[in-house]
Amino acid sequence: MGGITRRALFAGSAVGAAGALLPAAAGTAGARPRNGCASYRAAYHFTVPEQWKNDPQRPVWIDGAYHYYYLHNADYLSGAIGTAWRLATSTDLVSFTDRGIAVPKDTTPNGDVWSGSAVVDTENTAGFGAGAVVVLATMSPHDGPSDQAQYLYYSTDGGRTFTPHGTDPVLPNPGVRDFRDPKIIRDEERGRWVMTLAENDKVGFYHSADLRSWTYVGGFVKSGIGVLECPDLFRIRAGDGTAKWVLGVSANGKGAGLPNTYAYWTGSFDGSAFTADAEEPQWLDHGWDWYGAVTFEKRMANGALDERTRYAIGWLNNWDYAHITPTIDSDGFNGTDSIVREITLKRAADGTYHLASRPVAALDRYVSRTVPLGDLVVEGTRALDYRGTAYELTCEITWDQLTGAGVQLRRSPDGVRHIDAGVHRDYAYLNRRPTVSPDLSGRWQESRSPFDPARRTVSLRILVDRTSVELFLDDGRYAHASAAFPYLVDTGLALFTVDGRAVFRNTVIREFQV
């Protein structure tokens, strides 16, 4: 995805669901004030220190830490466009340390640096030294429709700073529109590098022996879900021992009634071509705001690769309303990521395979307070004696007969504003319409995923932070991530049912200190 970042200028502290400008609430407990405003900065999600961020770049494991690069525009507030790669490091993927700019923008005639990927060249195939970190990223010198090409940067200091490898692309544009977001993996079996590249409705596959010269070998085409961006290709093993290749893309399926997040196919890959198990993709997230997502390798304590689990992180935003955020005025930044997720491959009862996701296990180490609420019987709406703006809620809902059940998050004192998560007849959902939403069109408020009402039970795990909600259903079979900007005085929580009674079993709230 490109690095262009134009800011829609507006006054005030928050944008209301109907487009009205709303004042931020002052004096909220735990908020960090800036310029007299209360803070909308996430309590335990990754946020850019200042200015702007968009696409995550796939983190790489270097010297005992994950190196997380992301697109950053230090000139956002001045209205200038263009991104560089900024670096943060982490040993547990919950707490991150900012390391500043790693791949600078505007230091060559090619301008700013867009999305791509970093790899550790352990065998010195590119000639920069064994262990050099090599980045391939899209740049567009003249910002033309057929101007996107792939350029190389390298680092000999462990991925902290990078040097451009000349000013010519290592993969020029052959004269097509949309030619970006290179993702590189090492094919150890065949002794070469493999690149996936976003080419409008196609993911192109390329080979290279040295990361400098690339040969096109084929492509995977899928139309009907918008322009394909930020491709992803990896191998993962299920609990039953079956190994599958997964091809993923960020895609906008809203026009077809599908999500606008991360679409993926399970299948096989022979080193040159990907064969999908099914024509239509599955979706790793069903919410509105999990875009530009990347998955990456999980390393165990001894540094060995975990074949059964990968990590994933996504940008908690959407290009339809990317610049509408109160965080700019309250804290001087625009850019929040999802919690890092653990991704596993599971086999369904019908024999098909799907990916499941859950929050990274290391989050458990940051629990600062636990509020056990036990089993709660609900018929109608039951407000709980809890207040908070950043927490996790878990429960299992069981019932004999009803139309729907769920929770009201970030509830206003009068009960009018809230974010709803739960099930209704044959679908699960996350609905931000009753609160302050960044979607001024009003069209993208409730996200849905399938649910079988005959089961009469559902497990919910919900991560609530100051500007987002992430919902995980039934051990991560489905997930929904959406941005929302509730008033900071909206701290209430309620449980509800529709047309019946339910028991919310083992209801627990956990708060985090990062």
- Residues catalogued as catalytic: 55
The torsion defined by the Cα of 368, 370, 371 and 374, in degrees rounded to 10, comes to 170
Cα–Cα distance between 484 and 289 in angstroms, integer? 10
> Are 212 and 169 within 8 A, CB to CB?
no
Token reading at 393: 């809620």
> Are 175 and 164 within 8 A, CB to CB?
no
Cα–Cα distance between 237 and 196 in angstroms, integer? 21
Cα–Cα distance between 330 and 315 in angstroms, integer? 20
How many helices (H) and strands (E) are present in the chain, helices listed first?
Answer: 1, 34
Best CA proximity match to 429, nearest among 412, 408, 413, 400: 408
Cα–Cα distance between 88 and 86 in angstroms, integer? 7
> Are 52 and 333 within 8 A, CB to CB?
yes
Token reading at 366: 């940051």
Produce one character per residue of 40-60: b if its CB has 16 or more CB atoms within 10 Å, e if not: bbbbbbbbbebbbbbbbbbbb
The torsion defined by the Cα of 56, 74, 82 and 315, in degrees rounded to 10, comes to 20
Cα–Cα distance between 211 and 113 in angstroms, integer? 18
- DSSP three-state, residue 165: coil
The torsion defined by the Cα of 381, 385, 387 and 393, in degrees rounded to 10, comes to -70
> Are 283 and 291 within 8 A, CB to CB?
no
Cα–Cα distance between 158 and 67 in angstroms, integer? 9
Neighbour tally for 208: CB within 10 Å? 19
Q: Give every CB contact of residue 166 below 8 A, 6+ residues apart in sequence.
A: none
Overall size of the chain counted in residues: 514
- DSSP three-state, residue 363: helix
> Are 414 and 406 within 8 A, CB to CB?
no
Cα–Cα distance between 68 and 89 in angstroms, integer? 6
> Are 140 and 148 within 8 A, CB to CB?
yes
